[in-house]
């Protein structure tokens, strides 16, 4: 939202958001202004400090929200009464299990959310334990749903004049990315199983090793299957009745892989990718992070942006996943802790520097 023009103010406790204290840090020096995760997640935002857990802090918070359109929170407390009364505020709450239900107050982490959201049940090899997706996918999926819901609520307010409370459950958000898997069980009592990188209805759809790493390939049409057989110089596979359809090839995937593997192992990832793409066979090399930063496709679109910060110097950041040239601009750096305190508290609430200093001494700001 900040990248596309919204004025986003991050309300942090006086000690700073927890991610300010989370490694890795710039230059390997732990510092609240040097957490690379915080700097990435908070580009283009502004920061004020406020202890909302005390009475004075909550009064200030309720005064502040008179000046905004949206509040996005991960706090378990219910929305202030002002939300649905005289102020047309949109209050978006993101919680592991939502605001209600028997698990609403359960603590949770990325690992437990992926487990309870059903994702881990379908990720990994069939003969090994479930696998967690890399990164913090649960949090990001919940955040994406919150962003979309908030934008829709803003649009609805244009027609109704009313704000509303949006209840985002990260567990439910994860369930939505399982596609038709819950439906298969509901209607056919079919339980999806872990199948690694393969596909249960067609093959070859898999990860193959090459001389210098791995590629992912997905043959899904008869034309692609024919092109692959000719590419690997095994035209006899085209007339073998055991490999006519994708389902047949999936049923005999181990046998087929043993025949294809030597061709992949004799080539680099780049050689495989270029050869396959030239024949319209979907394939991509498994990129390392350094390769992503140098990838010509990302760089052609200007996806990565270099941002200077007083604590880190210049760092390359991922940009937005979509482009709106008439709305978005260059990313700006993440804020220093409480950097906009004076501007917000004095400009919005008329609190003098002297009074702000007193509130800081009391742990409110």
CA distance between the termini of the chain: 25
Report which of 91, 87, 63 is spatially closest to residue 77, judged by C-alpha positions. Answer: 91
Mean pLDDT by groups of 10 residues along the chain of 365 residues: 90 95 91 93 95 92 92 74 65 92 91 91 86 90 96 93 91 88 74 75 91 94 96 96 93 94 96 96 92 89 90 87 73 94 96 95 95
Q: How high is the pLDDT of residue 180?
A: 77
Nearest to 55 by CA among 352, 345, 362, 344: 362
Q: At what angle do helices 269-278 and 222-231 cross, to 10 degrees?
A: 130
Q: What is the 3-state secondary structure (H, E, C) of the chain?
A: CCCCCCCCEEEECCCCCHHHHCCCEHHHCCCCCCEHHHHHHCCCCEEEECCCCCHHHHHHHHHHHHHCCEEEECCCCCCCHHHHCCCCCEEEEEECCCCCCCCCCCCCCHHHHHHHCCCHHHCCCCCCCCCCCCCCHHHHHHHHHHHHHHHHHHHHHHHHCCCEEEEEEHHHHHHHCCCCHHHHHHHHCCCCCCCCCCCCCCCCEEEEEECCEEEEEECCCHHHHHHHHHHCCCHHHHHCHHHCCHHHHHHCHHHHHHHHHHHHHCCCHHHHHHHHHHCCCCEEECCCHHHHHHCHHHHHHCCEEEEEECCCEEEEEECCCCCCCCCCCCCCCCCCCCCCHHHHHHHHHCCCHHHHHHHHHCCCC
Residue with tokens 């090994």: 128
Torsion of the alpha carbons at 328, 331, 337 and 342, rounded to the nearest 10: -50
Q: What is the pLDDT of residue 326?
A: 73
Q: Which tokens is 208 given?
A: 């193959």
| pLDDT reported for residue 177 | 87
What's the pLDDT at 356?
Answer: 95
State the pairing for strand pair 90-95/70-73: parallel
pLDDT at 319: 83
Amino acid 273: pLDDT: 95
pTM of the complete model: 0.86
pLDDT in the model for residue 86:
54
CA 311 to mean position of chain CA atoms:
25
From 248, 243, 196, select the one nearest 232 (Cα to Cα). 243
Q: Domains along the chain?
A: 9-178+293-361 (3.40.50.10540), 205-287 (3.30.1540.10)
CA–CA dist 58, 51 (Å, integer): 8
CB atoms within 10 A of CB 331: 18
| Cα 218 to Cα 48, 202, 212, 273, 337, distances in angstroms | 49, 9, 20, 12, 47
Q: What is the pLDDT of residue 78?
A: 56
């Amino acid at each position: 939202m900040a990248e596309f023009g919204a004025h986003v103010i991050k309300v942090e406790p006086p000690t700073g958001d927890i991610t300010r204290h989370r490694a890795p840090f710039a230059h390997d020096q732990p510092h609240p202004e040097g957490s690379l995760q915080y700097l990435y997640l908070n580009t283009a935002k502004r920061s004020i400090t406020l202890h909302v857990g005390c009475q004075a802090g909550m009064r200030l918070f309720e005064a502040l929200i008179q000046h905004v359109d949206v509040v996005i929170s991960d706090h378990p407390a219910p929305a202030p009464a002002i939300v649905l009364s005289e102020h047309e505020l949109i209050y978006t709450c993101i919680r592991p299990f939502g605001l209600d239900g028997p698990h609403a107050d359960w603590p949770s982490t990325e690992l437990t959310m992926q487990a309870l959201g059903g994702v881990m049940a379908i990720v990994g090899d069939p003969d090994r334990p479930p696998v967690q997706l890399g990164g913090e996918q649960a949090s990001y999926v919940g955040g994406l749903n919150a962003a979309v819901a908030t934008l829709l609520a803003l649009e609805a307010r244009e027609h109704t004049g009313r704000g509303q409370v949006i209840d985002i459950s990260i567990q439910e958000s994860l369930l939505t990315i399982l596609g038709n898997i819950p439906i298969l069980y509901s209607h056919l009592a079919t339980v999806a199983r872990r199948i690694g990188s393969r596909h249960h209805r067609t093959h070859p759809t898999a990860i193959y090793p090459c001389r210098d790493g791995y590629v992912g390939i997905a043959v899904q049409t008869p034309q692609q299957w024919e092109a692959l057989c000719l590419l690997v110089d095994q035209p006899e596979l085209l007339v073998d009745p055991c490999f006519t359809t994708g389902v047949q090839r999936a049923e005999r995937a181990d046998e087929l892989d043993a025949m294809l593997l030597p061709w992949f192992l004799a080539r680099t990832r780049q050689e495989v990718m270029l050869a396959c793409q030239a024949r319209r066979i979907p394939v991509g090399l498994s990129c390392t992070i350094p390769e992503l930063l140098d990838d010509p496709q990302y760089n052609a679109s200007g996806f990565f942006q270099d941002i200077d910060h007083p604590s880190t110097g210049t760092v390359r950041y991922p940009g937005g996943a979509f482009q709106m040239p008439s709305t978005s601009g260059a990313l700006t750096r993440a804020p220093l802790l409480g950097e906009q305190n004076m501007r917000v508290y004095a400009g919005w609430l008329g609190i003098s520097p002297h009074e702000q200093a007193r509130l800081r001494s009391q742990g409110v700001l």
